[in-house]
Every structure is written in structure tokens, then in C-alpha cells.
Structure 1
Amino acid sequence: MNEETIRLLLQKIKQQDLSIEEGVERLKILPFEDLGFAKVDYHRNLRQGFAEVIYCAGKTAEQVVAIAEKLSAQGGGNILATRATPEVYAAVLERIPDAEYHSLARTIMIRRGKQEKIGNILVLSAGTSDLPVAEEAAITAEMMGNHVERVYDTGVAGIHRLLSQTEKLRYARVIIVVAGMEGALASVVGGLVDRPVIAVPTSVGYGASFGGLAALLAMLNSCASGVSVVNIDNGFGAGYQASLINHLGEN
């Protein structure tokens, strides 16, 4: 529970919206609450700067709803759920009417508190087929309080498309590069800028791409300095890491 949540809790007690007994019950569940199927971590925001993110794949709609409701009730800032189906979103929407859904990124967003955005994170995609992963990265970063710009379809097959974005490349504080196939875009971008580049290999490609393994290995073996790599299709991880870098020195 962060300082803002504690302040609101004490305020409610003072205003008699919440009794002393109810306040004590709230305090009992610190720092997490055991739901049986999940232990909801209410201190994640305090420790890491953002609330626990719900990974929906493998969970039932009822489980996702229960976790989302608990996090929402704590008032600890924005809530993000990844890899969510429309069916899961429909179940969440019934209980949390202001929940939003991004079908391409498969994310559920519940906005809480001030929506301030700092710095500048640039998300590049090599091709249109990489957009689901790129949007997952962009939305993750936005929900964590970052200004995000998107430049899509800038793959090396038409390098002039990337070179026309030179000003945006130099203005960005962190760059996320999302690419499948042979994953060459990350190395090209890494050779053009003096900014951290986070490479995201995607599973886009024909048979010899091995579901993104070819792009992953190419990015790991990049000769460009300053390129780091997350797992295949892990747009969320890239957005989270970019946010941590972008916020350095801001707090």
C-alpha cells in the first residue's frame, strides 16, 4: 500500500466513511491478500513504482475479475492486464465499468489517479505484422506514466522509411524496436542513436524464423552497442523496462 492509499484510508476513517474496525480490517491484508488461487500484492506499487500487472493467459475470467477488483479497491494507481481475450474483458467490464480494452494489444486498462506522462519513449515496429507486440509495449509504457510516440512499418526492406524519422530517433529518451523475420532493425537503430535501445523479437516470419528464435538470436548477437533484448513477443517487458529507464532521475 503506497503513501497515497494510506492517506486516503486515514481520510475515510476521519470522515466516517470507514469505521475504525473497517480500517483495521484493511490493514490486516498488508502487504498482500490471499485469494486462494492468487496472492494479490498490494505493495508492488510501493516497491516498484507500478501496481501488480495481471497476466490473463491461463487464468479464468472469474480469477481475473477478482484480482482486478481487489487492486481497484486499493486505489494504488493505474491497473494493467495483459494477454486478455474479449471474453475476459467483458467479464471485467461488468464489475468495473470504466475498464478499457485494446483489442490489438490484448490489454485491459483501468485508469486511476492523475495521468501524468514524462519523458519520451519511441516505439518502432519493423512491419505491420509486429503491431500487436508493439502496441503492448506502447500501452504498458503509457499506463506507467510515460509519453510514448509510435512509428510503425520502418523495416530494413525499405530503409529510407526509418531514415526519414531521424529527428524522432534523436529526441527519444528510450527506443523500443519490435521486429520479426531476421530482426535486423534493432542493430540498424542501435547504430544510429546514443540512446538505450530495447529490442523485442517477434514470432512473425516464415518457417526458418522458428517462431521468433531467429530474430532473438540476431538481436542477442547485435554488433551495435547499447542494444538490450527481451523475450520473444514480450512487448510488456520492453514497455516496463523502458519506463524504468525513462523515470531515472525524475523522482
Structure 2
Amino acid sequence: MKKVLTIAGSDCSGGAGIQADLKTITAHKCYGMSVITALTAQNTTGVYGIEACSVDFVKNQMDCVFTDIFPDAIKIGMVASIEIIEAISEKLKEYKPKNIVVDPVMVATSGSKLLNDDAINMLLNELIPLSTVITPNLFEAEILCGFKIKTTEDMVKAARKIAENYDGHILIKGGHLEDNANDLLFSKGTIHWFEGERIINSNTHGTGCTLSSAIASNLALGHNIEESIRNSKEYITGALRANLDIGKGSGPLNHCYKIV
């Protein structure tokens, strides 16, 4: 069985973060493990509290995983602080794992920044360079490239700009575009578009977490980057189309729609 580690924050309501990742990993028939960076008090209506784990405890969790059940792929989501970013980067350099998917959680769906500028700089300079692929949404890609993204042409320009300082694969998610939901994969100068079917479903809590952990699972299973993204987008589409309706706000996907 392939093993996938998620390094992220906990969502007590189960729709995003560690909980969404573990469900997604299980749905892909991989063995899921977690390093928790922060605890959040949240549900489908919003986030009501965040408590970051200590740096030493994050390191302790990573040591316990890597020295016993070495992962075949890693997904990294919410990193909470400069110190935690530094700790994760230090341990990745020490253990040198492959197939690292970084979902740069910097901006909420509303457009509000979730990390301060110092933490964003640490993410850019320390953690992102260690990754195999990054999966920014349009808001996050704007921070990475330094300009607004309104069109698919802007997405290409943004990818080229980001690639000036990053050698890995860049997946810019186009879910917030007005005219389509296409995603752009930029790999070593090559452009590949993934056409996205826009599912009419207001319950989209945790889609970013779910996509990145699905990509990590597919990489662990031996698929190349294009296959991993294509498979993951099909999985997300199915999880949205299942029309799970739980909670009073923007509810979660049905991560286990394939499990009979």
C-alpha cells in the first residue's frame, strides 16, 4: 500500500484540512498519515478560532512519521507561522522525501490574506523550492507573480513569472475565472490546460485541500504529473456532483462517493 502524509491544519467539522486530506487519501486506496500544524475551530459557516502547534511538536510528529513509515508522497497545506514553515523545511531537507505537493494556503476564498508578509516570504524562499508541484488558486498566484489575474492569458503570464524563481511544476487553478474553470499546468516551459466542468454546487468547502491531497495520492501511486492532475480533477468533479448537503453554510464535498 502506498503511503501519503498530509502536513496541515485540523478542521473539526471534517470538510477541509487534515480531515479532508485523510478521507481523500483513503478514497484513493492509500495509507494516510498526518502532521498537524494547527487546530481550528470551524464549521461550514466560518472559522472561529485557531491555535498553532508548537514548533517542537511539529518536528516531533515529522520525526515519528519519517523514521517509521516513510511516505511515498506528501501534501502540505496550512502552515500557520514563520517558525512552523522553517521547521517543516528543515525536516524535509533532512529526510529528502519525493513527491511533495504544496497547496500555498495564503488567501481565503473571500480574498483575505491568511499569512502575513514575513510568513509569505518564508513560504516562497524556504518551503516552495522543496516542492514537486504547487497548486495556487488565482488569489495566491497573484501574490506569487505580483500582478492581477483576470484571464487565461494572465494565467500564462503569471506561470512564466513564477517559474523565474521556481523549477517545479506550477498548477494555477482557474476556479475563480469568470468565463471558465480551466486549470493551467506549467512544467519546464510547457503549457498544458485542463478544462474544468463548472459544477453548480454551493457546497465547496475544502476543494483546495482535497485537490492537492488527491494529486499527492496519485503521485504516490506512480502516475506522472499530468495523469495525477487529470485523475484528481475527475475525482473532485465526482465529489461535487454527488451533491452532499451538510451544514448551514458552504458544506463539504462527498470525499467517499466512490466507496461502496
Classify the TM-score, shorter chain: 0.3 to 0.5
Give the structure with higher Rg (CA): 1
- Structure with the greater relative contact order (CA < 8 A, sep ≥ 6): 1 or 2? 2
Which has a greater percent of helix? 1
Question: Under a length normalisation based on structure 1, what TM-score does the superposition of the two structures give?
Answer: 0.41
Question: Under a length normalisation based on structure 2, what TM-score does the superposition of the two structures give?
Answer: 0.39
